[in-house]
Amino acid sequence: MIRFYDYSARIQKLTGEVYYPPVVSFSTVDNLPFQNSPEASIEVIANENLSGIQNITSIEFDDIIRLSVSIRYHPKDVPVYVNLFEGKVQNISKNYGELNTVTLQCVGHIYEVFDTLEVFGHSWTSTVDAKTIISTLMSESHKLSRVEYDASYVDSGVTLPEFNVEAEKMFLNQVLSKIEEISGYTKYFDTVQIYDRWGILQHIYLTFKSISAAVTHKYEINEGSNRLIAASVDSIGEDVKTFRYVVGGTDEVTGTTYHADVSDSVAVSIHGPRYALDTYSWIMSNSLCTQVAQGLLDGSKDPYVSISCTLEGTPDAHKGDLVKVDFHTLDLKGVAVSGNYRVAKVQHRLSETGAYTTQLDLNRVKMTPTEYTIKYISQKLNTVLTNQA
């Protein structure tokens, strides 16, 4: 089947002007869990002034940008665009003496939370819903310049026995990352953009929504299909641990060091004793040490399957999708590589030759605190600066 692709980069300035520079190439990336902002590198054709001197166009730092693609199956079809990336321009580069293009390095709108220092401290000493924490932090007057809070875009249901935010020691993204982890990665943070009928961006709202448990029918990944270009399947066993020891902080009054250990007898019988010791000074109770140790064990007691695949351009692919996968000629020690897998990372690419592809990283659904990134759990937990009483 022949496909006709159309690409659009829409630049909106704060003063109201709108530009549509022609797109030469792009690369976008978005992933779970919430550790980085979505990013995009977009090469566009620059303008020229009347004397023919190349300039860098009217695009500036912090301009709003929306990258979209349309797929048509007949030359006379009307393009219907799907957004691949929405955010703002961060860096602009131009190479002297080369083609009349500029490259825009862009970040998603949610990047603002990475620049927002928590200058006020907060302490919730009894059971609190994460929605209350998010609402409180987002309502402070010094907060974000573009991203807004609206209760209808934030789900409740993630409860915490207590939660502290230390002033001037952490950024808003670290708080959000911790909340997402506590949800067991059943929910995730993002933004939703609201446009008027002329396509002008009006509002950007922070979202905290459940990851859908329904399998998407917009696309599948099946061996032998025209959509699938390449794939690699790995059984990851390097992080298998059957005993987890967690050491917490030390009580300043009693001198007690908090700790806990857990194991899994079934995993021990299969894989033998494999130990891991983790120290997190921010944990100030034995019960929380146990919870963290159990979460680490649940994510590391068995090998897990990881898939990386390249598809024909698939704008309907999004992080968090649950997608059906079937490689009927592959198995990993008797285990068929088929079933429903969660999309942990999406990369859309358009090369300068015109080839549009989508690369996906997928992991088997495991709703534990280490669902996607077993290897980086220590790094992630060590960034947390919340105190537990």
In this predicted model, which residue has the larger pLDDT, 384 or 159?
159
Q: Rounded to two decimals, what is the model's pTM? A: 0.79
For residue 14, pLDDT beyond 90:
no
Asked if residue 385 belongs to a domain, the reply is no
The last residue of one of the domains, among 55, 76, 111, is 111
Total domains present in the chain: 4
- 3-state SS class at 326: strand
Q: Is residue 203 very low, low, confident or very high in pLDDT (cuts 50, 70, 90)?
A: very high
Task: Supply 384's token pair.
Answer: 């947390």
Q: Is residue 282 very low, low, confident or very high in pLDDT (cuts 50, 70, 90)?
A: low
Asked if residue 130 belongs to a domain, the reply is yes
Q: Do 138 and 198 lie in a common domain? A: yes
Q: Do 257 and 356 lie in a common domain? A: no
Q: Do 20 and 84 lie in a common domain? A: yes
Q: Is residue 299 very low, low, confident or very high in pLDDT (cuts 50, 70, 90)?
A: confident
Q: Do 30 and 100 lie in a common domain? A: yes
Neighbours of 165 (CB within 10 A): 22
Rounded to the nearest 5 degrees, what angle is found at the Cα of 343, between the Cα atoms of 337 and 345?
120
Task: Supply 219's token pair.
Answer: 């696309």
Q: Do 330 and 351 lie in a common domain? A: yes
For residue 101, pLDDT beyond 60:
yes
Asked if residue 381 belongs to a domain, the reply is no
Q: Is residue 249 very low, low, confident or very high in pLDDT (cuts 50, 70, 90)?
A: confident
Q: What is the dihedral of CA 127, 130, 134, 140, to 10 degrees?
A: 0
Q: How high is the pLDDT of residue 315? A: 95
Asked which of 65-69, 207-211, 366-370 is least confident by mean pLDDT, the reply is 366-370
Alpha helices in the chain, H assignment, sequence order: 130-139, 172-182, 265-271, 286-298, 377-382
Q: How high is the pLDDT of residue 52? A: 45
Cis amide linkage into residue 21, ω under 30° from 0: no
In this predicted model, which residue has the larger pLDDT, 281 or 240?
240
State how far Cα 328 lies from the chain centre: 30
* Through-space distance between the first and last CA atoms of the chain, rounded to whole angstroms: 61
Q: Do 263 and 185 lie in a common domain? A: no
Domain with 273 in it = 243-298
Q: Is residue 57 very low, low, confident or very high in pLDDT (cuts 50, 70, 90)?
A: low
Q: Do 366 and 315 lie in a common domain? A: yes
For residue 140, pLDDT beyond 80:
yes
Asked if residue 33 belongs to a domain, the reply is yes
Q: Do 231 and 335 lie in a common domain? A: yes
Q: Do 166 and 196 lie in a common domain? A: yes
Task: Give the tens place of pLDDT for each residue, 308-317.
Answer: 899 999 999 9
Task: Give the tens place of pLDDT for each residue, 334-367.
Answer: 566 788 888 999 999 999 888 999 999 987 543 3
State how far Cα 126 lies from the chain centre: 30
The rounded distance, in Å, linking the Cα atoms of 71 and 218 is 14
**Pick from 232, 240, 260, 247: nearest CA to 370:** 240
**Pick from 89, 111, 115: nearest CA to 191:** 111
